Structures are given as C-alpha cells and as structure tokens.
Structure 1
Amino acid sequence: MGFFDRWRGREQRASIEDPRVPISSPNIITFLGLDAISASGETVTIDSAMGVPAVWAAVNFMSGTLAGLPLHVYRRTDEGRERVKGGLATILHDAVNDETSSFEWRKHCFDQAFTGGRAYSFIERSAGRKVTNLWPLDPTKTVVKRESGRKFYQYKDGSRTHRYDAAEIIDIPFMLKSDMLQHRSPILANKDIIGLAQAVTKYGAKFFQNGGVPPFVIEGPFQSPGAMTRAAEDLSAAVQKAAKDNRLALSLPAGHTLKQIGVDPEKSQLVELQRFIIEQIARIYSLPPTFLQDLTHGTFSNTEQQDLHFVKHTLKRWVEQFEQELNLKLFGRGNTRQYCEANVDGLLRGDFKTRMEGNARAIQTGQLTPNEARAMDNRKAMPNGDDLLIQGATVPLGTQPVMPVPANDNDEPKADAA
C-alpha cells in the first residue's frame, strides 16, 4: 500500500467526538462548530444571536405576525367557496393537539425557521387517514435524507429513531441548499454581522464597566518591572472602585501620568455602527428598519409605504409557502376541493378608518354584501343584508331620465316660428 492509499484510508476514519461523522465528511467543519466563529472572533450560536436586540425583534415580529393571521379551511363549490368548520379546520384554527394551541404551534414553527433555518411537524392520522394531531419536532434531532430518489425524515427520540415519509412531515425551511435536503440558517449564514453585533455589545459593556474610562497606560519613573505591574493593577482597581462609588477624581503619584490607548468610542461612531447593524439585520429578514424600532430615517409617508412593502414582498412570500406546504401535506397533491388559507386582511384590524372605507367601497360596488362586511368584523348578520348593492347614478348616455319642467303662470306662450 502506497502513501496516498494509506492517507486515503486514514481520511475515512470516524471522528472521536461522533463515530458516525467521518473525517472526510463535508459536514465535519459544521459538526465541530468551527464555522460559527465570526470574523470578529465571536462565536455565534442561536442563543447568542437572540441576545442581539435587533435579531430578537426581527424573529419575534415576523413569527408573531404570521402566527396571528387567521387560518381557515375552505371548500370549493359551484357557487364559489364556503368555509369548513370542524375536523381539520378546528385543528388548524384552535389547537393542533391536546397540548398546543394553533398560535403557539405556528409561532414555534416560524421561530425555528427564522433562527435555525427550518421547522418540522409530524402529522398524526387515524386509521381512516384523517388528521387528528400535529406535533412539532425538534429540528436538532431531525435529519433529512434521500433513498432511491425519495425524501424521508429520521427523528431521534431518546434511544428510538423514527422514520417518516415526506408526506407525514410539514417542512418549513428558510432556504434550501442545492441538494434540496440541507438548509441554510439565516443566523449562521450571516455570522459575521451577528458576531459584530455581539462584539459591539460586549465592548460597550466593558467600557461602562470601567466607568466610561477607555483603556489607558500609566507613565512614570518606575523602579522595577514589579513596581510597574503593581501600579497598573492598583490603578485598574482604583478606576473600578471610583466608578462603583460614583467618584469623579483619581489621585496619581507625583511624576505619573495617564495616557489613553485604543479607540475613542465617540470617534469610532459606536451609535452609528449599531444603527448600521440594525439595517443589516433588517436586510437578512427583508424587513423595513421601522419594524425593528429604527425610525432614524422614518417619516409619515415612507413609514406607511414600508408597511405596504412588508405585506406585499415579505409577508406574502411566507404566507404562500406555509399555505402550499399545508395544502400539499394535509390534502395531497391531487386534491382540488379543499384548501387552507391565511387571512392577511386581519392585518388591517388595527386601522379602523381604512377598514371602514374599504368595506363601504366594496359594498357600494357590489363586491360584498353588508352581512359579509359585518362578518369580517365578527358582527352578527342583519335582516335584508344579504343582497348585493350598487350605485345607480351612472347610466348609458341618452338613457338618463328627463325631469319635467314645472309650468309658470307668468310665462307667455311662445309664438310659432314663421
């Protein structure tokens, strides 16, 4: 056996930490956690990233908004569509199992998708193939594989390993890789900007821990290296004690001076850097900065436009992905009668004026009946409110009614033309 043969043989050895991961595996770097070290030297994990306020706000806002949308099941009929009640509709709208509400399940799914990059849920069915429960799975214990061209999921529950077909799992990925099996985490894929945010936070904490005094050196006539070390330690302790006691003055021995080193936080524009980090994190999640509580460049008009941008370009993408995954896994590919739909109109519930104006226009143009508009606000139906109405002021030219002109006694009859 030659050198290269022996080298290749050693390359296939399993790692010490996990015998199932060979040294030659492309996932070995990820397994060891080396790719979670950012350029700033900070180790980025899901938990550490959630300590960054902008990431916390983005994840909670996105997942909470999506979980708060009303989710209904509809049936297609010859007259249009009708809302389904009971069964699967109750599971999706109220509670997915005996332990988890629908809101809690959906928020958990999107929390996992916006942090680790993927969310899984197992579909429990009865003997008659009816959906009875939905159970969220831990993404860290789930592995996606392909065998004979078919995708399946392995879930490790303690000492037991379950194998699920693709039709049994609701799978919500943030972004898939080229093999359509692995996924990308928005946090780990952008570890450098997250690590920078962590480093900035730590720098600010250490700076104010010293009472706002930046790193410094002490200059003076030291007699020995030991005296220089003791002077540095004593001065550092004196600075921390002065900060703790709220004292503004420090005493130095005669002939000794302090000289600042490092970067002045004001000159390094720490505030501007934190704003830049907010903008970068907003780009990761395709969010306008106003939704991360950054109104630096916000005005009344552009904030309203950013609100429309969020619904049209960010929220719509996630709603469609979620709806199509539910429809595929819950009803099957050949289903043409029933489907799930999230009602985005619920986002307008906070704007009373816009909602009322929209309802009035829909009623006056024959798009909604008064009772349908009332039902959107959970108001009971009223008599004679099921008819479509339309304004009658616009008629074809030449068919408008002619109003008679009242006679006037003082008017003299007009003479016929000669």
Structure 2
Amino acid sequence: MGFWNRAMSAMGMSAEQRSIENPSIPISDTEAMLGMLGVLDRNGALPAVSIEAALQVPTVFAITNFLPRMLASLPLHTFEAGENGEKVNDSVSQLLSFAPNEEESTFEWRRYHWHQVFTGGRGLSWIERAGTRAVGIWKMDPGKTEIVRHNGRKIYKFDGREYSARDVIDTPFLLKRNGLASYSPIAKCNKAISLAIAMGDFAGGFFAGGGVPPLALQGPLPEGRDAFQRAQTQIMKAVELARREGRPFFGLPPGHELKPIGTDPDKGQMTDARLFQIQEIARIWQIPPAFVGDLSKGTFSNTEQQDLQLVKHLVLHWCTSLELELTLKLHGWRNPVKRVKHNVDGLQRGAFKDRIEALARAIMTGQMMPDEARALEGRGAAEGGNRLYIQQATVPLEDAGKVPAPTTNPTNEEDGADDDAGTEDK
C-alpha cells in the first residue's frame, strides 16, 4: 500500500472516496487531510486585503503617509481673482492657511483629508457657516458617510445630519459611473497588495522556522490517524529542537528520510519578486520608485528627474483638484472674486542653494521685487525693496563694444554760458 493509500485509509476513507476525479465526491475530505499534513493553510487563496491589512505592507504604508504629508505641507493661500491678484488675508483664508477649526491645524486637517483619499478613495469635510460666510471646516469619516441624490441634488448623510454638496469639500480618488461612489486604490488593486502580503508571510514563516523549508517524510508510516498525527508532531518537535539548539542533524527511525518540498526562496526568485512588488504597488499611486526607497535602478541624474516627475505629474494634479474644490465651496461658482492656490515652491524649502539662486534670478530679471523674495524667506521689508530691478549688462548687438558717451549736465552748461557772457562784457 502506497503512502497516499495508507494516509487515506488512516482517515477511514474507502477507495471510491479516494477518487478525486469523481465530481460527485466533495474534495473537502482531501483538503482536511492536506491541512493535517500542514500543506494547505488557506485553501490556496491569497490573503484578504482591507485598508488595515494593506497598511502592513511597507510600500503601501510609506506611500499613504508620504503623499498626505507632502501635500499638507504646501502653503495654501487665497488670492484676488485675475492674473496679478494680490494675496488675501481675511478670516476665510485663515481657515486654510492656519487652522480650519479650533481643534486642529491646517496641516493635520489636510493630512487626514489626503490620507482618506489615498486609502479609502475619498476625502470629505463639511463647512460650518455663519450666514453665507465660512467660519469653520470639519472632518467627515468617509466610511460613515452616505452619498445620495435627491431631486437631482447631491446629499451627504453623516452623523445624523444631511449636508448639501455646496457645504461639503469632496475629493474623490476616482469617481464611479454613477458620479456618487468612488474607487479605492487599495480595493481596486488588491491582488498586487495581497501578493506582497503573501510573500511577506512566507518570508516570515521561512525565517522564523530557521530557514527550514516544508518537508515530506518518506518511509513506512504508522497505521491509524492518531498514530500518524503523533508521528508528525514528534518529527516537528525534533526539527524545532535541532533548530533552537543549533544541532546540525537529528535522528530518524530506520528506513525514513525527510525531503524538502516546494521551491526555496532563492530558486523562486523571492528577492526579485518582492522588489517588483514595490514597483507594482508604487504604480498604483503613480509615485516614482525613489520615493518608496527603491533605488535598484536609481542614479544621480534619474533620481533628480523623478523629483521633477513627482511635482509635474502627481502633485500638481492633486493640488489643482483641491484648489478648485475649495474655491467653489468657499467663494462660490458665479465668477468668484477670490481663488485658492497652493504654493508648490514650498517643496524647495529644503534646497537652500537652488531656492536662493532662483529668487536672485527673478529679481535681476525684473520678475520679482526684493521685498517679495524676502517675504518668501520669512524676512522683513528692506529700504528700496518695493521696486523692480533689472541688470543693464544686456545691450543691442550693434552697440556691443561701444563706450557710452558721458552725460552732460544742462545746469552746468547754462552756468558756463553765463560765465562766458560775463567775461565778454568785461
């Protein structure tokens, strides 16, 4: 009797029941036996993915913390409408640039808002008003908010109250076809994240077991289910004891041997597979790999280019989304006289040399007044700093090499003429 037949007989199964080709026989008994042997733990399925489970993956955790922090750290100001609109410093702009309510700063509010966008797929906040003027902005839990349409109007139901769309700041990751529900990047791309979880679980189990792969016992097996389980338990204890004590071998009954089954991590290219999953997960949020610590293909030049790519193709898109939403909900939709805008130059806050050189060039080319540049650096106004300046070194080509003629003083000429006239009279 072979190993398979002896094992099935030990479970009291007949030859007909052992035929897994028979579609009328459920395979649950076979799965139970495989589970007893320690071969099948999750019925061959990938781990389930929720937001909490996804955050256990370092790449997901890094992205969903990095993007909200970065977007929340950008200066957010209000300007008068128009190309040359001046910065506004009224009570509504203070909600955005300092504190949206008495409980939290604008950084904390916006970080929570963006975190909900990049995990559950939507960020929501409701606007507290005194008449028509906004006096506060408060967070909403998207998981506890129901969005419906009533008479064609969008209504948000949260915490026992109903809010009209004009009183809710809504930033979806990607809207569904009905225009109400939104897609969650974690839920929509759960297989890529689930695979990363499975590889992490396998690596943890492999190294927690001392690097011992799954083993199969070959040789005469004891009859009966209880005896088989006792033998299995004793062998597992022997392997664990040898691992803990650092012994290179342990004894087996005569005529028995252990053989590894499955593929070891090296042959399965586990390191390469886990590295690929970092890039795959980063692709969900379209974030350059360098910002999740993947420098496997990074160089000095292309890492700098990834920095520019982050701003041009990711940050600006989300900034525009929130800017237009805040302008619409705080200043109205009929030709608003004020507009909300991020200062993306705030990303250069840590690059002192680049920032100063850019400001100096803007001043010397007449694009910025010195006081404006000083204000960006948190410095006070200086005498003569409220004027535009430009270098005079650039001249027309035909004037190159010519020495400009000295300027004459009309006053001196007139004085000289009077002196000459006086001399002649004398």
Q: Matched residues in 2 for 1:334 and 1:246: separation?
A: 77
In 1, distance between residues paired with 2:237 and 2:390? 81
Q: Which amino acid aligns with 2:179?
A: M
Structure 1 position 222, deviation (Å): 3.4
Instruction: Report how far residue 38 of structure 1 moved.
Output: 13
Question: What is the deviation of 1:173?
Answer: 0.3
**1:195 paired to 2:198:** no
Relative distance call for 1:299 and 1:402 in structure 2 (3 A) is closer
C-alpha contact (below 8 Å) 2:218/2:257 kept by paired residues:
yes
* Structure 2 unpaired stretches of 5+: 1-41, 406-426
Residue 364 of structure 1 corresponds to 364
Q: CA deviation at 1:206?
A: 1.4
Contact 1:175 1:184 in 2 (8 A): yes
Q: Give the match for residue 210 of structure 1.
A: 209
Alpha-carbon distance in structure 2 between the residues aligned to 1:67 and 1:83: 20
Which amino acid in 2 is paired with 1:98?
E
Structure 2 Cα separation of the partners of residues 144 and 233 of structure 1: 55
| Aligned twin of 2:271 | 271
Amino acid at match of 1:129: T
Partner of 2:128: 124
The alpha-carbon deviation at position 330 of structure 1 amounts to 0.7
Within a 5 Å distance, the mapping from 1:45-84 to structure 2 comes to 45-76=50-81, 80-84=84-88
TM-score scaled by length of structure 2: 0.81
Post-superposition Cα deviations, 1:303-328, rounded to whole Å, max 9, x if no partner, equal 00111011000111100001000001
Residue identity opposite 2:387 in structure 1? D
**Cα displacement (A) at 1:116:** 0.5
Letter matched to residue 235 of structure 1: I
Aligned residue for 1:321, secondary structure, equals helix
Q: Output the CA distance in 2 between the equivalents of 1:361 and 1:372.
A: 13
Distance 1:253 1:94, change over 3 A: same
1:120-148 deviations in whole A, cap 9, x for unaligned? 1010001x321111111111111111122
8 Å contact kept, 1:96–1:135: yes
Contact 1:282 1:289 in 2 (8 A): yes
1:142 aligns with 2:145: yes
Equivalent-residue separation in structure 1 for 2:196 and 2:43 (angstroms): 11
1:210 and 1:39 map into 2 onto residues whose CA distance is: 21
Q: Provide structure 1 residue ranges, at least 5 long, that are not aligned to the other structure.
A: 1-36, 406-418
In 2: Cα distance, 1:404 partner to 1:54 partner? 65
Cα distance in structure 2, aligned partners of 1:56 and 1:223:
49
Distance 1:376 1:247, change over 3 A: farther
What percentage of aligned pairs have identical amino acids? 45
Q: Which moved more, 1:131-140 or 1:38-47?
A: 38-47
RMSD of aligned alpha carbons:
2.1
Compare CA radii of gyration and give the structure with the larger one: 2
The aligned residue for residue 162 of structure 2 is: 163
Residue by residue over 1:55-101, the C-alpha shift from the partner in whole angstroms, topping out at 9 and shown as x without a partner, is 00111111110001011112247x93222224112111111111121
Letter in 2 for 1:254: P
1:404 Cα offset (Å): 9.1
CA distance in 1, matches of 2:250, 2:191: 39
Partner AA of 2:125 in structure 1: S
**Equivalent residue number for residue 393 of structure 2:** 393
Q: Are 1:181 and 2:180 counterparts?
A: yes
1:39 to partner: Cα distance: 9.2
Residue 44, structure 1, aligned to residue 36, structure 2: no
Question: What amino acid sits opposite 1:296 in the alignment?
Answer: S
Shift of 1:242: 3.4
Alpha-carbon distance between aligned partners in 1 of 2:354 and 2:141, rounded to the nearest angstrom: 41
Q: Secondary structure at the match of 2:391?
A: coil
- Letter aligned with residue 112 of structure 1: Q
Alignment of 1:398-417 (within 5 A): 398-399=398-399, 402-403=402-403
TM-score for both structures, normalised by structure 1: 0.82
Letter in 2 for 1:381: A
Aligned residue type for 2:343: N
Residue in 1 aligned with 2:346? 346
Q: CA deviation at 1:388?
A: 1.2
8 Å CA contact 1:46, 1:116 repeated in 2: yes
1:324-339 maps to which residues of 2 (within 5 A)?
324-339=324-339
Check if 1:305 corresponds to 2:305: yes
Q: Which moved more, 1:217-226 or 1:366-375?
A: 217-226
